[in-house]
Amino acid sequence: MSSLPKVEREKTLSYYAEIIDDQMEEGMTEEEAVDALGDVAHLADLAILNTPMSTLVKSKMRYNNNRLLTVLLILGFPLWFPLSVVFAVIGVALYIVAWAAVASVWVASASSVGAAVVSLFNTFFTNGVGNGVVFFGLFMTGVGLSVLLFFGAFLLSKLLIKFTHYSWETAKISLAKKRSA
């Protein structure tokens, strides 16, 4: 928790102290109450995740008071800044491409539904039984494909949302923990 800003650290410590006090009032010993909270490292990570990213960044900027590092950052700016921008742009582009791929699966699912509806319509308004059977087969294929694509698109969307959430949490925790290292 030393990686958190002082105000956030005090809020978190007072919150858990209040929980421990409440549990002690209900008859638990102090040791039992502390054990009931769980793993301390997990609680510290939760405190970091509940701290806004802007607060963590401001705290990181205030904490770093190394003059040599500041001089190196200024002198190395022509090298590290463009590289940082390139990596950031590539990361954002890959993220957009991933969402575009998911969107295309959603569109393919909707197109399959449309093709199935048209095939069903053509089944009844076509000349000959053979053509009707072919269009009914196309209808069944469209229905099956649209169901398959729908669940695929749903799964891909869910995975990408989880990846986004995991990446954000990892960035917050690594930003906060680099300060205490």
Distance of CA 89 to the CA centre of its chain: 18
pLDDT of residue 96: 96
- pLDDT, tens digit, 9 for 90 and up, residues 130-178: 888 999 999 999 999 999 999 999 999 999 999 999 998 888 888 777 6
pLDDT of residue 113: 94
Kindly tell me if the per-residue pLDDT of 16 is higher than 90: no
pLDDT of residue 60: 66
Buried b (16+ CB within 10 A) or exposed e, 1-22: bebbbeebbeebeeebeeebee
For residues 161 and 51, the model is more confident at 161
pLDDT of residue 64: 54
Q: Where are the domains of the chain?
A: 1-63, 79-181
Summarize the confidence of residues 69-96 as an average pLDDT: 90
Q: How many CB atoms lie within 10 A of CB 33?
A: 19
Most confident residue range from 45-49, 74-78, 98-102, 133-137: 98-102
Instruction: Please name the residue ranges forming H helices in the chain.
Output: 6-25, 30-37, 40-49, 53-63, 67-75, 77-124, 129-180
State percent of the chain over pLDDT 90: 41
pLDDT of residue 103: 97
pLDDT of residue 28: 86
How many CA atoms, within 13 angstroms, populate the side-chain half-sphere of residue 9? 9
Say if residues 9 and 179 touch (Cβ distance below 8 Å): no
Tokens representing 120 are 């069903």
Q: Which of 106, 81, 83 is nearest to 157 (CA)?
A: 106
Q: Which of 145, 136, 137, 155 is nearest to 113 (CA)?
A: 145
Q: How far apart are CA 106 and CA 100, in angstroms?
A: 10
Say if residues 128 and 109 touch (Cβ distance below 8 Å): no
State percent of the chain over pLDDT 70: 91
pLDDT of residue 136: 92
Tokens representing 165 are 């959430």
Assign 90 a pLDDT band (cuts: 50, 70, 90): very high
